[in-house]
Structures are given as structure tokens and as C-alpha cells.
């Protein structure tokens, strides 16, 4: 890497090599996965390249939680074998997702010397873990079993001015009475649920600073009436 290439990283987030590898993943993804991943990539604002650039981690200054993968585990999205024709050297890259977000590219050996080359070619490509499947640690997998059947008919819609979240948009938050899951929003108000002793409880937050108010209705009734 020369001085001009190094300077270019002051205004570019990805090197040509990283673009090459990420585009390989996108080209093998189905439409839904591709759309979510492309939105995630748009939010990436910082790359941290470690050692001889065999570990490249990505960070966002902000992020839209609705574009997280349903699978919250640390997973391998794909494995890519490729080579540089000029130096006739082979590399193995793994693209990882963590907590529902594309997070890193790990490559052996390090790729600092070839990160700006345009002679790269694919030897083999393999999709590994499916980020669109709910994982054991996924809040959605645990929660979906407790949501009323009627919720599936209203998720992703606007009902009584509440924006009801789809399953993959639901996110968790810690409150004074434990972990809750935000399932609907209206202006500054939130409807959340908690699971206590296998029972689903519904709470209203009137704004970001208010205390949770227990609603003695099932979730869909609360959405329709509040």
C-alpha cells in the first residue's frame, strides 16, 4: 500500500479488496438478505484493520435496528477462497455477523499488500450460517412463541396510529423492572412486553423518560385501545 492509497482511506470506508469480498456475498444472497445487508453497509462509518489486515472490524456511528438480521449469534456468513493473480497467492476470507449486524472480515494470510489490487479472482464461495433464521439467543425466537396469534395479522402495519413492529424489528431494552421488548411505537410513546414466569405482560411508556405502566389487556387489545 502506497501513501496515496493510505490517504484515500481518510474518506473511503472500504478498500477495493473489502468491496470485492462484500460484493461476492451480496451476489450470492437472496433478495431479502441482500436488501438488509446493503442497508447495514450504508451505516458503516469506520473500519478497524488489525495486525497485517487479517482482521477487519466495522462500526456504525448510528444504526437502524429494523435492519438487523434475526440471528443474533456470532455467525459466519460465508467463506471465500480467492487469490491474487499477480503474486500467485491464495487467501481464505470469512465474513462474520455479530448481534444481528455484519461485523468483520477475517482473512488468512493478511491482505494489506493486496488490498488495492484489481487482479483478484474467486476460487470458491460458500454460504455458511443463515442470518435470517432466528437463533437460540435471538430475542425474537423466545418472544414469538408468547405473542398472541392475532399479532401476526397486525405486525408491520399501522393500527390505531401505533406502528406495530414486524418480528425482526422488535428490540430489547433494560428497564427498572427488567428486560422488555419494544413491539409498537406511536409518536413518543412505546408499547413493550416482558416475559415473567412464562407470562406475557404489556407495558406502556408514555415517553422515553416515563416509568412503565402495566396494561391489564392482551397485546393486540392494548394496541387497538390505547
Distance CA 154, CA 70 (A): 19
Bin 81: left if φ > 0, else alpha if -120 < ψ < 50, else beta. Answer: beta
In the chain (226 residues long), the average pLDDT of successive 10-residue segments reads: 45 85 96 95 92 91 86 90 91 93 94 88 94 67 74 89 85 75 90 82 88 91 92
Q: What is the pLDDT of residue 11?
A: 44
Report the alpha-carbon distance of residue 55 to residue 91 in Å, rounded.
Answer: 13
C-alpha cell at 202: 404489556
Tell me the pTM.
0.61
Only one residue has cell 413492529, namely 165
User: Would you say 185 and 192 are in contact if contact means Cβ atoms under 8 Å apart?
Assistant: no
Residue 138 has a pLDDT of 55
Look at residue 151 and give its three-state secondary structure.
helix
DSSP one-letter string for 48-60 = EEETTTTEEEEEE
Can you tell me the distance from the alpha carbon of 39 to that of 64, in angstroms, rounded to the nearest whole number? 9
Handedness of CA 101, 103, 108, 112 (dihedral sign): positive
Helix (H, G, I), strand (E, B) or coil at 27: helix
Q: Report how far residue 114's alpha carbon sits from residue 87's, in angstroms, rounded to the nearest whole number.
A: 9
At residue 176, the 3 state secondary structure works out as coil
Distance separating alpha carbons of residues 162 and 111, to the nearest angstrom: 49
Nearest of 117, 75, 111, 66 to residue 93 by alpha carbon: 111
Domain ranges of the chain: 3-127, 139-225
pLDDT of 13 reads 82
CA-to-CA dists, residue 132 to 138, 147, 155, 174, angstroms: 11, 20, 17, 25
Query: What pLDDT sits at residue 8?
Result: 45
Amino acid at each position: 500500500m502506497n501513501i496515496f492509497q493510505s490517504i484515500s482511506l481518510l474518506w473511503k470506508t472500504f478498500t477495493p479488496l473489502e468491496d470485492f469480498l462484500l460484493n461476492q456475498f451480496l451476489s450470492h444472497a437472496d433478495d431479502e438478505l441482500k436488501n438488509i445487508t446493503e442497508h447495514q453497509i450504508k451505516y458503516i462509518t469506520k473500519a478497524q484493520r488489525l495486525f497485517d489486515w487479517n482482521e477487519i472490524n466495522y462500526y456504525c456511528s448510528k444504526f437502524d435496528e429494523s435492519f438487523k438480521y434475526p440471528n443474533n449469534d456470532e455467525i459466519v456468513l460465508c467463506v471465500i477462497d480467492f487469490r491474487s493473480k499477480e503474486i500467485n497467492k491464495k487467501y481464505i476470507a470469512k465474513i462474520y455477523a455479530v448481534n444481528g449486524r455484519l461485523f468483520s472480515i477475517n482473512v488468512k494470510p493478511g491482505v494489506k499488500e493486496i488490498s488495492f489490487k484489481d487482479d483478484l479472482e474467486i476460487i470458491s464461495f460458500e454460504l455458511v450460517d443463515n442470518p435470517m433464521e432466528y437463533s437460540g439467543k435471538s430475542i425474537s425466537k423466545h418472544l414469538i412463541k408468547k405473542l398472541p396469534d392475532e399479532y401476526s395479522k397486525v405486525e408491520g402495519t399501522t393500527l390505531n396510529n401505533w406502528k406495530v413492529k414486524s418480528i425482526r424489528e422488535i428490540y430489547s431494552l433494560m428497564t427498572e423492572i427488567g428486560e422488555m421488548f419494544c413491539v409498537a411505537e406511536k409518536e413518543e410513546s412505546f408499547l413493550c412486553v416482558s416475559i415473567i414466569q412464562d407470562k406475557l405482560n404489556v407495558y406502556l411508556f408514555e415517553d422515553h423518560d416515563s416509568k412503565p405502566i402495566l396494561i391489564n389487556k392482551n397485546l393486540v387489545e392494548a394496541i387497538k385501545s390505547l
